[in-house]
Amino acid sequence: TDDTVSINKSVFNEILTAPKDESNENPANPLLQLALSETGSKLFLMLLVEDDEARSKYFDPYERSILEAVTMVRENGQDVPTSKKDPAARRQELVKFLESSLEELCTSHTMELLKSLPGSRVIKEFYNRTGSENVANAVIKACESELENGDSDIFEDPVGHRTIKNLILCDADRSTAVFSIAFFAKFAGRLTDVVKSNRGAFVVSAWLKIDSLSDKVAIKLKSMKKRLQELSKGKGQTAGYAALLKALTDNS
């Protein structure tokens, strides 16, 4: 529908309103359950991802068939669009209404999103669209806190490490690599902690694809190259080490 104001009032206001629960003084963000849902998260992905091809990867063939950007109906033997407004303009208007709530979601439930497959897509695509410094800082703080508390290792988490890598890669085509630069500044002195795992090596290899960071990362890794070569030929999973070595070679 072209009437995005009505959508905001009748649909989005509903999902932005937390249910009343007098026993819970600090209710979770009402968008959290949707963001962590395989199906619910697709509402946000449909709106956040601007590129048609990139957006389609999140939907199966049947979903794509009923979520056409321009819906047509048959009238008097001709296909007629049901809307006149440009799809990108509609999407922008809808995202604008949700943006502050989505940013609050990403900054208040950061680790939950980072380690959830559906949630990781939402936080990645929100950052990719907005370049939010608040979200970038929240991710860095969450990762640092987890490592210091020893609860677990975000760089070893099967979903978490991939989310961090993808957030870094979002900066590859951005004029300002907000997340990547801040993240490297915080963890540059702890590269050995990150690269000690195969999954962590994937994260570091992504840094080498950021023009403003590649040389700095390569210098930091110079003394570790021999060890990385040994790890890449070891037992178990080694694809991350191999990818990092290749990225280092391509950078030299």
- Token look-up 């509609």 returns 90
Alpha helix segments (H runs only) across 67-197? 87-108, 110-114, 117-130, 133-149, 160-170, 178-187, 191-195
Name which of 189, 178, 175 is nearest 217 in CA terms.
Answer: 189
Question: Nearest 5 degrees, angle CA 243-CA 245-CA 250?
Answer: 95
pLDDT digits 0-9 by tens, 21-68: 656 666 678 899 999 999 999 999 999 999 989 999 999 999 988 887
pLDDT of residue 251: 76
Burial class (CB in 10 A: 0-12, 13-18, 19+), 52: exposed
What average pLDDT does this structure show over 191-217?
89
Q: Provide the pLDDT confidence category of residue 136 given band limits of 50, 70 and 90.
A: very high
pLDDT of residue 230: 86
pLDDT digits 0-9 by tens, 219-235: 988 888 888 888 888 78
| Distances in whole angstroms, Cα of residue 12 to Cα of each of 18, 26, 40, 137 | 12, 21, 13, 27
DSSP 53-87: HHHHTTS-HHHHHH--SS-EEEETTEEEES--S-H
In this structure, which amino acid lies at residue 148? E
Q: Provide the pLDDT confidence category of residue 111 given band limits of 50, 70 and 90.
A: very high
pLDDT at 198 over 60: yes
Could you count the other beta carbons within 10 Å of the beta carbon of residue 187? Answer: 20
pLDDT digits 0-9 by tens, 96-105: 999 999 999 9
pLDDT of residue 246: 87
